[in-house]
Amino acid sequence: MSDDLQKNTTQGKIEDFKKRSKSLKLMGGEKQIKKQHDSKKLTARERLDLFFDKGTFQEVQLFVEHRSTLFGLDKKEIPADGVITGFGNVNGRVVFVAAQDFTSSGGSLGEMHAKKIWKVMDMAITAQKPFIALNDSGGARIQEGVPSLEGYGGIFYRNTIGSGYIPQITAIMGPTAGGAVYSPALADWVFMVKGSSFMYITGPDVIKVVIGEEVTHDELGGAIAHATKSGVCHFVTESDADCLEKIKQLLSYLPDSCHSPLPLSDCTDSTERICKELDSIIPDKGNRAYDMKKIIKSIADNSGMFELSELWAQNIIIAFIRIMGKPVGVIANNPRFAAGVLDVNASDKASRFIRFCDAFNIPLLTIMDVPGYMPGTNQEWAGIIRHGAKLLHAYSEATVPKITVITRKAYGGAYIGMCSKQLGADYVMAWPTAEIAVMGAEGACNIIYRGDISSAKNPAAKRDELAAAYEEKFNNPYFAASLGIIEEIISPHDTRKKVIALLEALKDKKEIILSKKHNNIPL
């Protein structure tokens, strides 16, 4: 029987289908796959094999082809049009994905490539399941012209419509440049791989021509640059495999959607565990630092802590922990960096995390040790007023359970900004070491007792005397507790027990929200 006749039989059609599928799944072919591996990168299909539970991935629109005839594209086949889309199980939970394949025409985004991504994003939103983008692309397919730009616009629109509705995570696993960078920026969390992933609006060559500045790809838009300088990257990973594993860890803390229950893990820790180590963690001298992460881990189940944006705005910590198996979002000042002050970047970092947790019904635990806002012209001109207001807005609009623990300093406007009672905290607790005041004792005395100090025979001694008296009266939690400004003073070792009890008591919390279209956060 001839090949043509064979194809017309039922079995022949099935064999033809298998042959076509196999050919498309090879993507760019062995030569391009080798180049990908030589760059220490996995192919898109290899990444998906690692990411999804074995045998669960279901591909969507494998046979889609580009339809452009310009600049020789009519003679060029681009398998799967350079992107693999579909869904499958990750640790038993359904997740949707779009994975660009650099071996297929550099993973360039054209009209049909984009429409494949639109389709799977629409499916994720409709199904109320997380969406993951694995980016590895040379950018817009220039030969196709404006339709490629329209493609990006449709992706950005869906990122925005799905925001706060389903979790969206982007992994930069190769180049991502120009307009392509805005989809990651619109996602909730961005992962990058050290040494092989880059993000920038304009690349080094254009920068050199336009403004004469010389910079490498890595310096301009590598993982470390975006994790330490811009804050665009939330997780730096060592390899493709490490990146995919960390995405799985993050997903374990997140619900499928804003309407889904939080994922519950088995808990082997005790509700009655005493944290004795916390009784001695605060230094005797107020200007000495200590490890805030030890406090967070002590409160968490089995000392587990999943930190986000670890390398950016290190004066504040944001992290997920579990308490009795349930996810909790933690925001904590970090005395080891700039004494834990609030500045522009710390305010942005915390505000975005608070809004994410609130969108997905994850309770908030704030651990406060804040001496104030960072002073100076750099901060003022960078907009600390506007950026600091974001934090006030984020805490105030959050309706999830909000618990605050004051470990040491709680001064001035920064005290208000770190989820004080008047920003809607459901319960504020303080350790006996807490200092709740408008400002530090010396600064306060310089204002209140300016005349007494300047007229004294020994101004320095007089200042010390008055500062000691001020500290005794105000730099402790008792004055605030007497006015009901804080609910309770607790022993540090009881912190975990108290937090557990409060989360249980507040688990069914409901707030009536004013009817309106949306808030206008000071962006």
> Residue with structure tokens 């009795």?
324
Q: Domain tally for the chain? A: 3
Query: Does residue 433 share a domain with residue 450?
Result: no
Give the single-character DSSP code of 290. Answer: -
| Domain assignment of residue 382, yes or no | yes
Provide the pLDDT for residue 410. Answer: 95
* Position 7 confidence tier, pLDDT thresholds 50, 70, 90: low
Among the candidates 474, 493, 517, a domain finishes at 474
Q: Which residue is catalytic, options 171, 332, 346, 414?
A: 414
Query: Does residue 481 share a domain with residue 374?
Result: yes
Query: Does residue 491 share a domain with residue 470?
Result: no
Q: What would the mean pLDDT of 313-335 be, rounded to a whole number?
A: 98
Query: Does residue 397 share a domain with residue 425?
Result: yes
Provide the pLDDT for residue 215. Answer: 93
Least trusted range by pLDDT, from 5-9, 161-165, 471-475, 491-495: 5-9
Q: Which residue is catalytic, options 413, 424, 443, 456?
A: 413
**Average pLDDT of the chain?**
91
Q: Which residue is catalytic, options 28, 110, 179, 372?
A: 179
| Domain assignment of residue 316, yes or no | yes
Query: Does residue 300 share a domain with residue 238?
Result: no
pLDDT tens-digit series, residues 117-160: 999 999 999 999 999 999 998 877 767 668 778 889 999 999 99
Query: Does residue 450 share a domain with residue 412?
Result: no
Least trusted range by pLDDT, from 138-152, 205-219, 285-299: 138-152
| Domain assignment of residue 210, yes or no | yes
Residue 127: count other Cβ atoms within 10 Å of its Cβ: 15
Query: Does residue 419 share a domain with residue 297?
Result: yes
Residue 431: count other Cβ atoms within 10 Å of its Cβ: 23
Whether 329 is catalytic: no
CA neighbor of 327 nearest in space, from 249, 214, 396, 417: 249
Query: Does residue 115 share a domain with residue 209?
Result: yes
CB 84 within 8 A of CB 99: yes
The span from the CA of 312 to the CA of 194, in Å, is: 16
What's the predicted TM-score (pTM) here?
0.93
Query: Does residue 35 share a domain with residue 74?
Result: yes
Provide the pLDDT for residue 220. Answer: 94
Q: Which residue is catalytic, options 110, 151, 178, 340?
A: 178
154 vs 467, which has greater pLDDT?
Answer: 154
Query: Does residue 60 share a domain with residue 148?
Result: yes
Query: Does residue 223 share a domain with residue 201?
Result: yes
Provide the pLDDT for residue 88. Answer: 98
Provide the pLDDT for residue 315. Answer: 97
| Domain assignment of residue 406, yes or no | yes
Q: What would the mean pLDDT of 22-40 be, rounded to a whole number?
A: 80
How would you classify the pairing of strands 189-193 and 168-172?
parallel
> Residue with structure tokens 């808990």?
267
pLDDT tens-digit series, residues 418-461: 999 999 999 999 999 999 988 777 778 888 888 888 888 888 88
Asked if the model's pLDDT at residue 2 lies above 60, the reply is no
pLDDT tens-digit series, residues 261-274: 999 999 999 999 99
Q: What is the span of the domain harbouring residue 446?
A: 441-474
| Domain assignment of residue 92, yes or no | yes
Three-state secondary structure call for residue 222: coil
Whether 414 is catalytic: yes
264 vs 64, which has greater pLDDT?
Answer: 264
Provide the pLDDT for residue 125. Answer: 98
CATH number at residue 186: 3.90.226.10
Asked if the model's pLDDT at residue 6 lies above 70, the reply is no
Whether 179 is catalytic: yes
With residues binned 3-state (H G I as helix, E B as strand, rest as coil), the percentages for the chain, rounded to 5, are 45, 20, 35
Buried/exposed code over 17-46 (b: 16+ C-beta within 10 A; e: otherwise): eeeeeeebeebbeeebbeebeeeebbbbbb
| Domain assignment of residue 264, yes or no | no
| Domain assignment of residue 511, yes or no | no
CB 280 within 8 A of CB 270: no
pLDDT tens-digit series, residues 328-383: 999 999 999 999 999 999 999 999 999 999 999 999 999 999 999 999 999 999 99
Whether 178 is catalytic: yes
Query: Does residue 55 share a domain with residue 42?
Result: yes
Conformational region of residue 234, where left means phi above 0, alpha means psi within -120 to 50, and beta covers everything else: alpha
| Domain assignment of residue 512, yes or no | no
